[in-house]
């Protein structure tokens, strides 16, 4: 069994960018939130919908981890479900990609935060819905204070 590196954090915190860089080093598969939602055709952003989505991604990551390292880049805002996933799958390594909300909003090239603040998007994490920060992540990287490469280096140093 290989490792599942679960990157969690606010939208636009840098999860996907870190995942792409880290995958090169780890020779890992990536399960990215946007891509996975498109494949699963899941547009249910209620708490129940998010919980179901997180569990489905965790199961897929677990299955893939039989053969390769897996990087999950997913907002995964529900602490209870992240903790449930870590209990169920012992090979999950939780990395909190921490970034101040204002910085995330400034980085938002798709304009999702602005749309959410105008009411065009419902249940958007960081605007209408809360992101529940991890209480005991395996690692915290600060993308609002360090470059993506520095954050990737922090991860590599920790897991080596």
Per-residue model confidence as pLDDT tens digits over 43-56? 677 899 999 999 99
Choose, from 46, 76, 90, 147, the residue flagged as catalytic. Answer: 76
Q: What is the pLDDT of residues 81-91, one digit of tens each?
A: 999 999 999 99
Q: Which of 38-42, 64-68, 106-110, 112-116 has the lowest mean pLDDT?
A: 38-42
Task: Output the CA–CA distances (angstroms, integers) from residue 87 to 6, 61, 114, in the order listed.
Answer: 13, 14, 36
Q: What is the dihedral of CA 38, 42, 44, 46, to 10 degrees?
A: -90
Q: Is the pTM of this model over 0.75?
A: yes
The pLDDT assigned to 42 comes to 61
Q: Calculate the average pLDDT of the chain.
A: 94
The pLDDT assigned to 19 comes to 98
**What domains lie within the chain, and their CATH numbers?**
4-154 (3.40.50.300)
Answer yes or no: 76 catalytic.
Answer: yes
């Amino acid at each position: 069994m290989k490792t599942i590196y679960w990157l969690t954090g606010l939208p636009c915190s840098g999860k996907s960018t870190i995942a792409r860089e880290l995958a090169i080093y780890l020779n890992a598969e990536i399960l990215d939130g946007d891509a996975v939602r498109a494949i699963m055709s899941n547009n249910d952003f209620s708490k129940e919908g998010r919980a179901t989505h997180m569990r489905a991604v965790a199961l897929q990551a677990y299955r893939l981890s039989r053969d390769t390292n897996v990087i999950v880049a997913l907002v995964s805002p529900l602490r209870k479900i992240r903790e449930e996933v870590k209990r169920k799958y012992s090979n999950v390594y939780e990395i909190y990609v921490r970034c101040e909300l204002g910085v995330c909003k400034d980085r938002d090239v798709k304009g999702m935060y602005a749309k959410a603040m105008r009411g065009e998007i419902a249940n958007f994490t960081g605007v209408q819905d809360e992101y529940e920060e991890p209480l005991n992540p395996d690692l915290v990287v600060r993308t609002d204070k360090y470059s993506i490469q520095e954050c990737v280096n922090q991860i590599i140093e920790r897991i080596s």
